[in-house]
Structure 1
Amino acid sequence: MTLLDLCSYLGLGAVGAIAVNLLLGMLMSLRYSPVRLWPHRRIDVFSLHRWTAYLAVILTLAHPAVLLFLKTPHFGITDILWPLHSYLQPKLNTTGAAALYLILIVLISSLIRNSIPRAVWRNLHWLVYPSAVLLLIHSILTDPNLKDGHPDLLDGGKVFLEITTVVLIAATAWRMRIHQEGFRRRSASK
């Protein structure tokens, strides 16, 4: 496995962790209870949501960090932190960096949520949706081989990203559709 492969796998892992985290967050916002509903077990969804967030941030930070160790093409720290002027896929890399910065804002605001007003925390937490959009754009359209900028959209990793995109769009639409009633009213009426 090359460093470029490791970078790709870390990126795929980051997208997977962020997708799971986003889905768990949606369930929590709808007042999902794993005791009342499937799987009828006591599961601490909040802790699972928190740990998938930590995993997502670690993988998201590790993904571009691996690029610093590549001999060719060479990436400097500026290319990672501020990729606007990077010589290789600057727009897509800037999209990925913007997604990372939004994810960090969401994480930091969650870590200090007891010190800030709930409305501020909630509004900052909504940044997870634009960060997911930016992350998926970066992930799907970036050339994982760092060659000609034309990714193979039927590659296994890209298909995983495309399926993840469809699942997140469907889950977001479903969440918006039932946002008023959530799971509490629905399970009480059955």
Structure 2
Amino acid sequence: MHTIDISGTLGLIATVVLTVNILLGILLSSAYKKSVHWKRVPALIQKINLTDVHNYTAYLALLFVLAHMVLIPIDPVSKFSWAELLWPLHTEHQPYMALLGSLSFYALLIVIITTQKIIKNKMGFRFWKNVHLIAYGTVLLFIIHGIWMDPELKDRPADFLDAEKLLSEICGLVLIAASYIRFRYFMLKQR
């Protein structure tokens, strides 16, 4: 297995972990503990601190994203330099799709850094919450990056029925549905 293949696999794992993380964030942003459905969940699961799980999955996703990125320039086939990881507009292979990956990394960093207690407290809840909404844009960036980027960096067109692409597509659809449900919940709560 080539380094670029391992990098692609780590990117897919990061996509799944980020999807779980954002789903947990959506759940935490609602009054889920008052829900009839939550009360039907086994008591053992109800005892799990979902905020901690949400935070840990963010760190885990960041770890997978970093590993995904670091392996790219190690593989000579990629023709990526270390600097191009940070701003890939001058890379040989799919510069705009690579840029979406880099931007989603930066957005993830911003969300994680601003969630640290000392920073979050200095920001105040409302400002922190608005910054935290960057996560929704991050979803869009990493899903598009995952669907359109050629994992072997051969600039092939996206094969939307490829298993790797299907995984990203499913994650995207799940997150769109969850975001829609959360938005409807917000609108009903406003009434």
Structure-1-length-normalised TM-score: 0.90
1:158 is the counterpart of 2:165: yes
**Corresponding pairs, count:** 182
1:12 is the counterpart of 2:41: no
2:141 counterpart residue number = 134
- In 1, Cα distance between equivalents of 2:124 and 2:104: 24
1:118 counterpart residue number = 125
Deviation at 1:149, TM superposition (A): 3.1
4+ aligned runs moved over 3 Å, structure 1 = none
Pick the aligned partner of 2:80 from 64, 75, 83.
75
Deviation at 1:73, TM superposition (A): 2.8
1:178 counterpart residue number = 185
- % identity of equivalent residues: 37
2:30 counterpart residue number = 30
Deviations 1:1-40 (A, max 9, x none): 2211111111001111110000000000002228634244
Q: Is the 8 A contact 2:93 2:153 kept in 1?
A: yes
Worse overlay, 147-156 or 116-125: 147-156
- In 2, Cα distance between equivalents of 1:116 and 1:165: 30
Deviations 1:88-144 (A, max 9, x none): 110000111111111100100001212321122111100000111011011100011
Structure 2 counterpart of 1:43, one-letter code = I
SS at match of 2:170: helix
2:153 counterpart residue number = 146
Deviation at 1:181, TM superposition (A): 5.6
SS at match of 2:123: coil
Q: Structure 2 regions of 5+ residues with no counterpart? A: none
- In 2, Cα distance between equivalents of 1:124 and 1:96: 19
Q: Is the 8 A contact 2:2 2:75 kept in 1?
A: no
Deviation at 1:180, TM superposition (A): 5.1
- In 1, Cα distance between equivalents of 2:80 and 2:12: 20
Structure 2 counterpart of 1:82, one-letter code = W
SS at match of 1:68: helix
Structure-2-length-normalised TM-score: 0.90
Worse overlay, 25-34 or 153-162: 25-34
Q: Structure 1 regions of 5+ residues with no counterpart? A: 183-190
1:59 counterpart residue number = 64
- In 1, Cα distance between equivalents of 2:15 and 2:22: 10
1:108 counterpart residue number = 113
1:186 counterpart residue number = none
